[in-house]
Amino acid sequence: MIGTEIKITAEVAAEHGLTAEEFARVQKILGRDPSLTELGVFSVMWSEHCSYKSSKVHLKRLPTTGSRVVQGPGENAGVVDIGDGLVAVFKIESHNHPSFVEPYQGAATGVGGILRDIFTMGARPIAVLDSLRFGPLAKSPDVSEEEASRNRRILDGVIGGIAFYGNCFGVPTVGGEVQFEPCYSNNPLVNALALGIARRDELFFARARGAGNPVIYVGAKTGRDGIHGASLLASAEFSEESQQKRPNVQVGDPFMEKLLLEACLEVMRTGAVVAIQDMGAAGLTSSSSEMASRGGMGIEIELARVPQRETGMTPYEIMLSESQERMLLVAERGHEHEVFDVFNKWGLDAVEIGRVTQNGRLRVLENGNVVADIPAHAIAEEGPVYKRPVAPTKSPEASAPLVEFASTGADLNENFRKLLASPAIASKRWIFEQYDHMVRTNTRIGPGAGDAAIVRIKETKRALALATDGNGRWCQLAPRIGAMHAVAEAARNVACTGARPVAATNCLNFGNPEKPEVMGQFSEVIDGIAEACRALDVPITGGNVSFYNETLGRAIFPTPVLGVLGILEDADCALGTAFQHEGDAIVLLDGANAAVCNSGENLQREFSSSEYAKAIYGVVAGAPPAIDLSAERNLIDCLIALAAQRAIASAHDVSDGGLAVTLAESCFASPNGFSAEISLKTGQAVEFALFAETGARAVVSSSPASLARVLAIAAQCNVEARPIGKVTRGEFCIELNGRPRIRAAVESLRQIWATALEHALGNE
Amino acid sequence: MKFGVVVFPGSNCDDDAYHAVGAVLGEHVEFLWHRSEQIPGCDAIILPGGFAFGDYLRTGAIARFSPVMRAVERFARRGGLVLGICNGFQILLEAGLLPGAMLRNRDLRFICRHVHIRVENTDTSFTCAARAGQVLKVPIAHMEGNYFCDPETLADLERNRQIVFRYTTPEGRLEDSANPNGSLAAIAGICNRERNVMGMMPHPERAVEAPLGSADGLVIFRSMVESLTRHQTGSNAEVKASVPA
């Protein structure tokens, strides 16, 4: 019998976030009441964040296998074969709640956590991307100055935290995206994606084996920080008292993580390591129980041996601490000293705290007294699984009044300027220049230069492409279609650089899963992702679910963020968005062969969900554009073929802000200040033709000599290719049906676009 | 000819310097662990960028006490070539091998972008292959690159032609808007009086392959190789001359 200080009742369990049924389950597994430490172990491991208890039944519907997939969901990160005996290891993860409570450290430790997930598998991190969502930065009738100023502060802290951690660690932050909606005001989203490279035959897994093998604790000392980060912060809604949860946020030390990286990769080369797992959410508890469970073994640890930074820590605190920059590894008995030598070289703690056992139990001792004794499998794998009630999704926005198109005579120049200045469209230079996006000298296409980031793999001809996307507004209006767009846009962005999309990772950000309509959104989104991933052949290899993104009962838009990985066979074929040569032909590619003649009302409905409708008319209504996955697939094939055959000089997909913004961005990105002269024939409303966000489209440029080849390749791929103008040094001009609708000096437009974010942040 | 790249705990541009010298330039290069007290057989030492010892206390303040720095100092006093890049520059300042100090960037933010620097002096072992006034496009990536020193030191630097690089416009004009971090006199890099130790905030090792944005940094490494070759040929000639006929 395990002695316990206080009587553990259902009420005490409830304070730890366990329901009465969950508590009964704990009693049944143990055959007795749990000790306080055991209660803590169950409460974190069965929290939503760690157990996926609400999402599990739905996640099963995602496609997770493919010819290149080496490791799907269930390990620390997904693994994909990229040829030459190498694998890409990648995953995206959220750190939303901590980033609201303490933006700088919350975002920093989010980056730190995902980096450990990568190098714990034996891969050296080579790139990070961040997908961020904030509330509006400017005061408006719906947003008070207090709220706007808090949003600016959160953004500033989050960017600073990401930069602090990634820059010091020495991984380039090469891309990502930022969106703004009022629903993120009290619940910003910080999703960090990391990519690493390893040799396929040198991967490491978190599977303990070999009874008697030593369990070794390495890295930073354990403190009281972050206790219950996973269960209290990440698995509950926020109230007005949330700021008091600041002690639950961990503090990051990227220098320590850099040392841990080098030491871990070095120790892995000695052959002495059997298994390794980082101590992330739920710290020592999750790393020990998961390694034991996955290996079908048990683990016994002595807490008195755990390096501690504070005195008087209880077993409960040591087991639940989420102190950063720590790892747990299992070594080959007799080779401990090889492990100690490496960590000693790097000045890090490495202490044998226990051993692998055959009994399948997680046994925790404190000075020889048992404080927890639980079947490891029960903690890690037998958590509750809920089939929560699902209600049809209903968004008030979907039935809101639609945009009325401007009269045909309207002057759209002013609207265009306003659109370029909206934070969602404006240049993100102010953000990405704070990130070291070049360290490790692999960045072929960095932030702002392409639709996806491209990092080369030294000593091969290949490069990897990565893009993240996710439109919360569209998912709010129609979760399933919105989710399909997230997959399609990320894949399209990867293809625009010339790379072939091969796999995906997803971060699913939602409200409270105990609300049937939130679960309805979740279920729909899973179906949408599954369908699009199958159609575009990008299996999901991992990711993370973040529920309870609600403050004061108000949920965020359902926001699935997709990270798609692509392989570029020849890094020299990498394409950016910038126009390259004066006189080049500009071609609009349309996988859906344009003339999908929607009725007037459908056009209005899909236009009402666009960035333009929001920025110009303040409307969020209607539905996302209809999606045609075979059209997306054709366009992707076409873009890859055009790049591989070096037929084009630039490619940029049509997305936020529509065709006009796409064209302008290709001008802005060109170092020579190129402009574009465009002439289009259309039967659509003028605003729709210029600013609609219909999918499966991209703008490419090619030399006049290559134009015929471009058209031929497009035809082979069943993609419509329409020459619509040329690259010039003159004014930026878009003519519709013979009439100039947008005409301005390109430099004046660039100025607006380039400085809008700084203006909004008050940092000019 | 052998280059040595020092690895401090927290160095993170060590691999990049190694790649630039080894794979791109094709010269022999080795890593030197910060605890080693010897730097055997090295002809040039690079202190790479990064966050040595986390830059805790002050950038470079702890790294200067690493055992390897004693060897680097001896090497420098004997006339060996020492190039400090970014954090390496900060360490050279802390070690007193170069004068001055770094302040936080003018706008208090980390800045990573390509900038333009003008070659102010070609009579150093790091710029002898460049043209005077040549403008190089090289990236910066730092939080504390705002060079500062007292007026006497600045006058000394000017008088002894120790200012090697200044931030300029792409056309080579000195303008405040071209100075990314507020450095005094737009200083991007300086050398010692003996001209064998140079520190610079921009990263030439990130600018050695055109597909990554610029190959302008190559001229610095080529200058080092050229200067060492000349020196070696020279010392060989001396050796030969000293052999009785």
pLDDT in tens, A283-325: 999 999 999 999 999 999 999 999 999 999 999 999 999 999 9
Asked if residue B241 has pLDDT above 50, the reply is no
- Write the CA distances from A190 to A55, A103, A297, A559, integer angstroms: 20, 9, 35, 11
Q: Read off the pLDDT of residues A46-74 as tens digits, 9 standing for 90 and up.
A: 999 899 999 999 999 999 999 999 999 98
Answer whether B15 sits within 8 Å of A167, measured CB to CB.
Answer: no
- DSSP state at residue A597: -
**Contact call for residues A613 and A607 (beta carbons, < 8 A):** yes
Q: What's the pLDDT band for A227 if we cut at 50, 70, 90?
A: confident
Q: Read off the pLDDT of residues A396-440 as tens digits, 9 standing for 90 and up.
A: 898 899 999 988 778 899 999 999 999 999 999 999 999 999 999
B55 CB within 8 Å of a chain A CB = yes
What's residue A247's pLDDT? Answer: 60
What's residue A249's pLDDT? Answer: 73
Asked if residue B236 has pLDDT above 70, the reply is no
**Cross-sheet strand order for the sheet of A78-83:** A69-71, A78-83, A86-94, A189-199, A124-134, A173-180
Q: What's the pLDDT band for A393 if we cut at 50, 70, 90?
A: confident
A346 CB within 8 Å of a chain B CB = yes
What's residue A596's pLDDT? Answer: 53
Q: Which residues of B touch A344 (CB under 8 A)?
A: none
Domain that holds residue B196: 2-242
What's residue B245's pLDDT? Answer: 37
Q: Read off the pLDDT of residues A664-683 as tens digits, 9 standing for 90 and up.
A: 999 999 988 999 999 999 98
Q: How many domains does chain B have?
A: 1
Cβ–Cβ pairs < 8 A, chains A and B: 82
**Contact call for residues B164 and B118 (beta carbons, < 8 A):** no
Q: Read off the pLDDT of residues A486-514 as tens digits, 9 standing for 90 and up.
A: 999 999 999 999 999 999 999 999 999 99
Asked if residue B180 has pLDDT above 50, the reply is yes
Q: Read off the pLDDT of residues B39-56 as tens digits, 9 standing for 90 and up.
A: 989 999 999 999 999 999
A437 CB within 8 Å of a chain B CB = yes
What's residue A409's pLDDT? Answer: 79
**Contact call for residues A509 and A183 (beta carbons, < 8 A):** no
Q: Alpha-carbon distance A734 to A739, whole Å?
A: 8
What's residue B234's pLDDT? Answer: 61
**Contact call for residues A325 and A257 (beta carbons, < 8 A):** yes
Q: Which residue of B has its CA nearest to A168?
A: B51
Q: Which residues of B touch A435 (CB under 8 A)?
A: 110, 112
B36 CB within 8 Å of a chain A CB = no
Query: B216: distance to nearest CA of chain A, Å?
Result: 14
Query: A311: distance to nearest CA of chain B, Å?
Result: 25
The residues that bridge with A69 in the sheet, in sequence order, are A80
What's the rounded mean pLDDT across residues A232-237? 61
The dihedral sign for the CA sequence A297, A261, A195, A643:
negative
What's residue B240's pLDDT? Answer: 42
Query: A586: distance to nearest CA of chain B, Å?
Result: 24
What's the rounded mean pLDDT across residues B114-131? 98
What's the rounded mean pLDDT across residues A205-232? 87
Q: What's the pLDDT band for A1 if we cut at 50, 70, 90?
A: very low
The dihedral sign for the CA sequence B50, B55, B59, B62:
negative
The residues that bridge with A173 in the sheet, in sequence order, are A128
What's residue B103's pLDDT? Answer: 97
HSE of A437, CA atoms in CB hemisphere, 13 A:
28
Query: B234: distance to nearest CA of chain A, Å?
Result: 35
What's residue A226's pLDDT? Answer: 72
A169 CB within 8 Å of a chain B CB = yes
What's the rounded mean pLDDT across residues A726-750? 97
Among residues of chain A, what percentage have pLDDT more than 70? 95
Q: Alpha-carbon distance A132 to A159, whole Å?
A: 9
Q: Among partner residues B19, B53, B112, which is closest to A441 by beta-carbon distance? A: B19
Asked if residue A238 has pLDDT above 70, the reply is no
Tokens matching residue B162: 């120790």
What's the rounded mean pLDDT across residues B47-70? 95
Asked if residue B242 has pLDDT above 50, the reply is no
Which of B13, B42, B86, B149 is catalytic? The answer is B86
What's residue A231's pLDDT? Answer: 59
Answer whether A347 sits within 8 Å of B9, measured CB to CB.
Answer: yes
Q: Give SS3 for A606.
A: helix
Q: Which residues of B touch A163 (CB under 8 A)?
A: 110
State CA B152 to chain mean position distance. 23
A170 CB within 8 Å of a chain B CB = yes
Asked if residue A234 has pLDDT above 90, the reply is no
Answer whether A434 sits within 8 Å of B212, measured CB to CB.
Answer: no
Asked if residue A248 has pLDDT above 70, the reply is no
CATH code, B170:
3.40.50.880
Q: Which residue of A has its CA nearest to B212?
A: A444
Q: Among partner residues B112, B209, B212, which is closest to A436 by beta-carbon distance? A: B112
**Contact call for residues A624 and A606 (beta carbons, < 8 A):** yes
Among residues of chain A, what percentage have pLDDT more than 90? 88
Higher pLDDT, A230 or B80: B80
What's the rounded mean pLDDT across residues A389-394? 91
What's the rounded mean pLDDT across residues A248-265? 92
Mean pLDDT of chain B: 94
Q: Give SS3 for A372.
A: strand
Asked if residue A615 has pLDDT above 80, the reply is yes
What's residue A601's pLDDT? Answer: 78
Answer whether B50 sits within 8 Å of A440, measured CB to CB.
Answer: no
What's residue A579's pLDDT? Answer: 98
Q: What's the pLDDT band for A594 if we cut at 50, 70, 90?
A: low
What's residue A630's pLDDT? Answer: 97
What's the rounded mean pLDDT across residues B1-15? 97
